[in-house]
Structure 1
């Protein structure tokens, strides 16, 4: 099954973008070629752009506190495994504390590094990071893979508390939904939300259906329509019934 996720607001959209960038960063950092490490470093710069909002840290702390209060309320339920609940609460507390202890604006240590900022300024330009533009960067790329890997990890380290908080918030959010089986008649599905607040929807779809979901939602209604693509890759509406799994988080 392919899982599609659609954020209901700008805050969750930002978290999903940072999560996606972090996955890309981890993938390219795990390899050894200088070009792969170049992509890892460029991805850090992208994360700085996305995480530039001043209130992102406070938003995450508020959300972690809200999740903590919600989880604590589960203690009264007789079927709850208290050891698992205590473990999750301890993890939330640890991640919150680490985020509180971060100093200054997100990624400020990277912004204060003139050498990294010179690279960032050139990577914005197509082909701007050639060896004749940045000879010192070219020399760094010729260092052993272990040295480059350690340098990038050190530069990224101040961002880890933020990414850990994002990972926890999204994990708890994904676990909060209930999966239901839906059939989109003639390729379209609508559901009234009756004013209930959701943060994100998750949609699971069989790839054999050759269908692509497009979702739009507000606090009143959810609408999902399906399209397909032929050889020219141009989207075309689907007019047959499409079964899928829906989770509102």
Structure 2
């Protein structure tokens, strides 16, 4: 996810597969919740597509267990931060209790993890057409066209019902990713000749996510790779969409946050 912020462009890069999955789910649910607030039928289409892509990820059996493991891991990370005095004790207690509440809720059989999406016949029909290019045209799915032709208030009610069926999942994502982002402070860095590398000591907490800010007036694009122990950032420029990105040869200033909660 990238965004502009006070003259800087923000990039986020997860360094493990679990966090990649959580961030993809966050992106899809943000897309759905934003699109459903607009009245045009094309925006309702965008929201429905985001919900079905979310469901496709959730259909992988390990997602719930990975979410539970992440909450368990964060609970331990909060305890470590309290022990080292990195966060105020009251704040740690509040976040720890929130983490335990979510952990109990996500583990329940009736947790809101998208069951209404699985049971909905219209969404099932749309999902079956996703493998075809433009497979949800008007002539492909008359029932979908009829739904899109309904008043916005009715479409929004359905979209809200589908989104509410993932309320516990959304709450967990908001909590887990907020803690990660707040766990890393931005520091000024420079990439000599457009390249930056760091080896992470094995006795340091593993880095979960990198957050990187580059000046908005500069057209540089960061190419980030690495794992919990070694990170490389290479800066590129792409003057226009017809040109392949090229390596930057001059020094590039940027801000970097290492999120290791």
Structure 2-normalised TM-score? 0.86
* 1:96 CA displacement: 2.4
CA-based RMSD: 2.3
Say if 2:150 is the partner of 1:143. yes
Find the counterpart in structure 2 of residue 5 from structure 1.
12
Q: Distance in 1 between matches of 2:165 and 2:245?
A: 42
* 1:40 CA displacement: 0.3
Find the counterpart in structure 2 of residue 225 from structure 1.
234
Say if 2:256 is the partner of 1:246. yes
Matches within 5 A, 1:26-105: 26-72=33-79, 74-75=81-82, 81-103=88-110
State the number of aligned residues.
249
Is residue 112–residue 167 contact of structure 2 (8 Å, CA) maintained in 1?
Answer: no
Give a deviation string over 1:206-230, Cα, whole Å, max 9, x none: 1212111001112432111100011
* 1:127 CA displacement: 2.6
* Residues 49 and 78 (structure 1), Cα distance of their counterparts in 2 relative to 1, 3 Å cut: closer
Q: Which runs of 5+ in 2 are unaligned?
A: 1-7
Q: Please give the secondary structure, in 2, of the residue aligned with 1:11.
A: helix
* 1:135 CA displacement: 1.7
Is residue 237–residue 245 contact of structure 2 (8 Å, CA) maintained in 1?
Answer: yes
* Residues 88 and 182 (structure 1), Cα distance of their counterparts in 2 relative to 1, 3 Å cut: same
Is residue 211–residue 226 contact of structure 1 (8 Å, CA) maintained in 2?
Answer: yes
Deviates more, 1:101-110 or 1:26-35: 101-110
* Residues 208 and 151 (structure 1), Cα distance of their counterparts in 2 relative to 1, 3 Å cut: same
Deviates more, 1:69-78 or 1:25-34: 69-78
Q: Please give the secondary structure, in 2, of the residue aligned with 1:30.
A: coil
Is residue 211–residue 258 contact of structure 2 (8 Å, CA) maintained in 1?
Answer: yes
Q: Please give the secondary structure, in 1, of the residue aligned with 2:212.
A: strand
* Residues 243 and 133 (structure 1), Cα distance of their counterparts in 2 relative to 1, 3 Å cut: same
Say if 2:229 is the partner of 1:208. no
Is residue 102–residue 158 contact of structure 1 (8 Å, CA) maintained in 2?
Answer: no
